[in-house]
Structure 1
Amino acid sequence: MTSRRNFLKGTLAGGAAAAAVSVSVSGPACARDNNPQPEGALGLLYDATLCVGCKACVAACKEVNGNPAEFSTPEQLWDTPLDTTAKTFNVIKMFRSGTMETKDDPDNGYAFMKTSCLHCNDPSCVSACPVSAMTKDPVTGIVGYDADACIGCRYCVAACPFGIPKYDYSSATGKIGKCELCRHRLPEGKYAACAEVCPTGATLYGKVSDLKAEAERRLSLKPGTKTVFQRGQLGGKDQSYENVVGHYVQHVYGEKEVGGTQVIKLSAVPFEKVGHKPLPERSASSKSETLQHTLYGGLVMPLAVLGVMTYFAKRNVKPDDDEL
């Protein structure tokens, strides 16, 4: 009859043998770089200097996605979401400072900032999702969500560096809500509703490569001079108009943050003041996947845990009478 001591010895020996074979087959884990942006990636350019805070984009987003109004006042007279939720995918927030006399003055002024999914090049929500409910389209780069595949684990909520995916606690089965760049409108020849209705072109839709070129063009212009701004879709129907160039912060937010995003932003107020904290250029998913592959490659971590458990089990097992 096999004793408990012999069983534990055999288990430990088998685990060590399996580790040796697995490591020799898989080899050492290597750190990976940020995933690149698809060549035809679609996205948005948000220019806070052009935004007037009308929130037409918020209303249009709700309409095309079939989302209800959300209230932050007891009167409940109109839709007043304070942040993105599982039923509010896009909001305009307001920065206030000092006397609030001048728009885009960081000291005594006010400014607006759009908050929605940035559609990261290397999204941590996609990396963290265990059932592929979060996906990144290989052609458009849009980060989409499949409610039928979702198990409600909320790993995407915890993983996102921008705090965008939100869990719907009123859902019986568990559901996440976030901007999907109106991907359901693309087959109809339409584009993101927030850009379509923006009266000033503060939110502009198009290929990310073209949007980046437009952002760089604006940054190169002298503040106070006039230039032409497009509205709606860059490269689409001409809805351009002339306006004054703002005093831009010389930075395109989203160009490099966490590996780059497909929603990029311009502002006259430092991004830190409008709720956009500095982030590293390396994506969180590239770091986490490198760590996971290092720990679990060749079953290193599971076998190490097994070894520790076996050690303590063996130490606490009393010898059988026939082994004394």
Structure 2
Amino acid sequence: MAAVAAGALLTERRAAQASNIEPGDDAVGVLIDLTRCTGCNSCALACKAINHLPNPDVAPTALSSQALTFVAAETDAAGGVHPVKRQCMHCLHPACVSACTVGALRKSADGPVVYDAHKCIGCRYCQYACPFGVPTYDWGNPLGLIHKCQMCFQQRVAKGETPACVAACPNGALRFGKRRELLAQAHAAIASHPQEYTDHIYGEHEAGGTSVLYLSAVPFEQLRFPQPGNGTISQTAETVMGLTPALALSVATLATGLHLILRRRQQKDDAAPIAWPDRKED
């Protein structure tokens, strides 16, 4: 039975990986212009409302099972304070998807990384794999579910609407659209106003590229943005996690084979005639 279960896990994982589609030219994303953000938290409160999360009128201060986005206050090298919206980056090659052994996370062709709670087993591998520290674990739920931003994929984007956070921003700091067009707009903004922006679009190449992009007036390292490099972290995660079900299958098969051998040997011993000692006559 262990071998069958491990084999099923391996088959399910391969099927889940095959279902992840490379995002095309029409894949969507969000461009966050930090020079326009005032830290009003309208985006975070709109996120709570659309996802029916607790304390809808209280601005969150960290990602959690009750907050899928929040606005941090980051201090740069000169002492200036900058509001920075944090949420899932919706990587083009998400490490969380590669690390998930049951296909609970997948990269959609439209861009967002979406989550299926019915498949999640609470292993938390996605938490360990994410270079941005995004997925959070619900310790208060006996099912142990993961929580993360899904870019309002089911509630709004699939219906042709913008994500709730984008719609709620009063300052135009959040922009929704096709990723390739957002990149073109970001590059144009830097070229037109080089004195206002650092010459870097965060998310264009980081971790192989992300669907959430940032513009900033100061270097992103000063705002505590992770520096994962430009390589796709999912390749490493997929290689390591791909071995997990295979190893489980090998161990389970070995254990099953050993059990059958010992059982057959026992059956032979039970079937052999008992050699009683000769009875001595008085």
TM-score by length of 1: 0.66
Aligned with 1:157: secondary structure? helix
Letter in 1 for 2:126: C
Please name the residue that 1:191 is paired with: 162
Are 1:175 and 2:145 counterparts? yes
The CA distance in 2 between the partners of 1:124 and 1:194, in whole Å, is 24
Question: 1:38 aligned to 2:24?
Answer: yes
Q: Is it true that 1:82 corresponds to 2:61 in the alignment?
A: yes
1:120–1:262 contact (8 Å) kept in structure 2: yes
Corresponding residue number in structure 1 for 2:127 = 157
What CA distance in whole angstroms lies between the structure 2 residues aligned with 1:44 and 1:292? 29
Quote the offset at 1:161 in angstroms: 0.4
SS at match of 1:204: strand
Q: How far apart are the structure 2 equivalents of 1:109 and 1:276? A: 16
Whether the 8 Å contact between 1:259 and 1:283 is mirrored in structure 2 is yes
Give how far 1:120 is off.
0.3
1:55 paired with 2:48, answer no
Contact 1:111 1:269 in 2 (8 A): no
SS of 1:58's equivalent in the other structure is helix
Deviation at 1:39, TM superposition (A): 2.1
Q: Secondary structure at the match of 1:172?
A: coil
For 1:172-321, list aligned pairs within 5 A: 172-184=142-154, 185-223=156-194, 247-290=196-239
- Alpha-carbon shift at residue 92 of structure 1 (Å): 0.8
- One-letter amino acid of the structure 2 residue matched with residue 135 of structure 1: R
Say if 2:90 is the partner of 1:119: yes
Q: Is the 8 A contact 2:59 2:70 kept in 1?
A: no
The answer as to whether partners of 1:134 and 1:144 remain within 8 angstroms in 2 is: yes
Normalising by structure 2, what TM-score? 0.75
Offset of 1:292 from its aligned partner?
Answer: 6.1
Aligned residue number for residue 136 of structure 2? 166
Which secondary structure state, in structure 1, belongs to the residue aligned with residue 213 of structure 2?
strand
Query: What SS is found at the alignment partner of 1:196?
Result: helix
Task: Give the root-mean-square deviation of aligned CA atoms.
Answer: 2.5
1:214/1:62 Cα in 2 relative to 1: closer, same or farther (>3 Å)?
same
Q: Is the 8 A contact 2:122 2:145 kept in 1?
A: yes
- Correspondences of 1:66-145 after superposition (within 5 Å): 66-69=52-55, 79-96=58-75, 106-137=77-108, 139-145=109-115
Contact 1:64 1:193 in 2 (8 A): yes
Residue 247 of structure 1 aligns to a residue whose secondary structure is: coil
**What does the per-residue CA deviation read over 1:254-306, in whole Å, with 9 as the maximum and x for residues that have no partner?**
0111110000101112111212132211111112334566x78x98x969xx8
What letter corresponds to residue 162 of structure 1 in structure 2?
F
SS in 2 for 1:61: helix
Letter in 1 for 2:238: E
Structure 2 segments unaligned to the other structure (5+ residues): 1-20, 255-282
